[in-house]
A and B are shown apart, each in its own frame.
Chain A
Amino acid sequence: MFFKVLRYDLLNGTLKSAKKYLIALLVFLVAAFDFTLRAPGLRNNLNVEMSTLGDYLMYIFYGMNEYEIGSPEPFRFPALWMLIVLFALYIVLYYPYNDIYGYGKQVLVNAGSRSIWWLSKCAWVFTTVLTYFLLLFATVFVYARAAGAVMTLNISKYMYMSFLPVAELKETLPMSLNIEIILMPFLLVLALGLLQLFMSLLIRPILSYSLSIVILVISAYYVHPFFPGNYAMIARSDKLIETGVNNMVGIYFFLGIIIVSVFLGWIYFYKFDILSNERI
Chain B
Amino acid sequence: MDKQILRNCIKTELRKALGNYLFLLSLAIASGIAIWSAIQNISAATAYYSFIASLQAGSGIMKNPEYASVTLFNSWIGQDYTSVATTLFFTLLPILCVLPYSWSFFSERKSGYIRQIVSRSNRKTYFLSKYIATFSAGALVILIPMLINFMLVSSFVPAISPNINYDIYYNVPSANMGAELFYSHPYLFVLMRMVIAGLYSGLIAAFVIGLSFFVKNRFAILLIPFIAFLTLNYFSASLVDKFGVELSPLNFLGGTSLGIVKTSVVALFALGLFVFSFGVTMWQGVRSDVF
Instruction: Among A34, A75, A86, point to the contact of B82 (Cβ < 8 A).
Output: A75
A102 to B223, CA, bound (A): 20
User: Which residues of the other chain, B, contact A98 by a CB distance below 8 angstroms?
Assistant: 217, 219
Instruction: Kindly report which residue of chain B lies nearest to residue A33, judged by CB atoms.
Output: B238
Say yes or no: A75-B223 contact (C-beta < 8 A), given A206-B99, A217-B88: no
A-B pairs under 8 A by CB, number: 90
A97 to B223, CA, bound (A): 15
Q: Contact residue range for chain B?
A: 35 or more
Chain A residues with Cβ under 8 A from B103's Cβ?
A: 280
Count A interface residues, CB 8 Å: 32
Tell whether A75 pairs with B84 under 8 Å between CB atoms, given A90-B223, A93-B223, A205-B219.
yes
Segment at the A interface, from B53-61, B140-148, B251-259, B272-280:
B251-259
* Contact mask for chain B residues 193-234; partner A; CB cutoff 8 A; 1 contact, 0 none: 000000000000000000000000111101100010011011
A229 to B22, CA, bound (A): 29
B227's nearest neighbour on chain A, judged by CB, is A90
Q: Assess whether A79 is in contact with B233, with CB atoms less than 8 Å apart.
A: yes
- Are A206 and B44 in contact, with the CB atoms below 8 A? no
Which chain A residue shows the least CB distance to B33?
Answer: A214
- Chain B residue numbers with a CB within 8 Å of A71 are 82
A69/B82 contact (C-beta < 8 A), A74-B257, A76-B87, A76-B251 known: yes
Residues of B bordering A, CB below 8 Å: 22, 29, 44, 81-84, 87-88, 91-92, 95, 99, 103, 168-169, 171, 217-220, 222-223, 227, 230-231, 233-234, 236-238, 251, 255-258
Interface of A toward B, CB cutoff 8 Å: 27, 34, 69-72, 74-77, 79-80, 82-83, 86-87, 90, 93-94, 97-98, 205-206, 209-210, 213-214, 217-218, 221-222, 280
Taking A75-B256, A93-B223, A206-B223 as given, write out 16 further A-B residue pairs in contact, using a Cβ cutoff of 8 Å, ordered by the A residue number: A27-B231, A70-B82, A72-B169, A74-B255, A74-B256, A75-B84, A76-B237, A79-B233, A79-B238, A82-B230, A87-B227, A94-B217, A94-B220, A213-B91, A218-B84, A280-B103
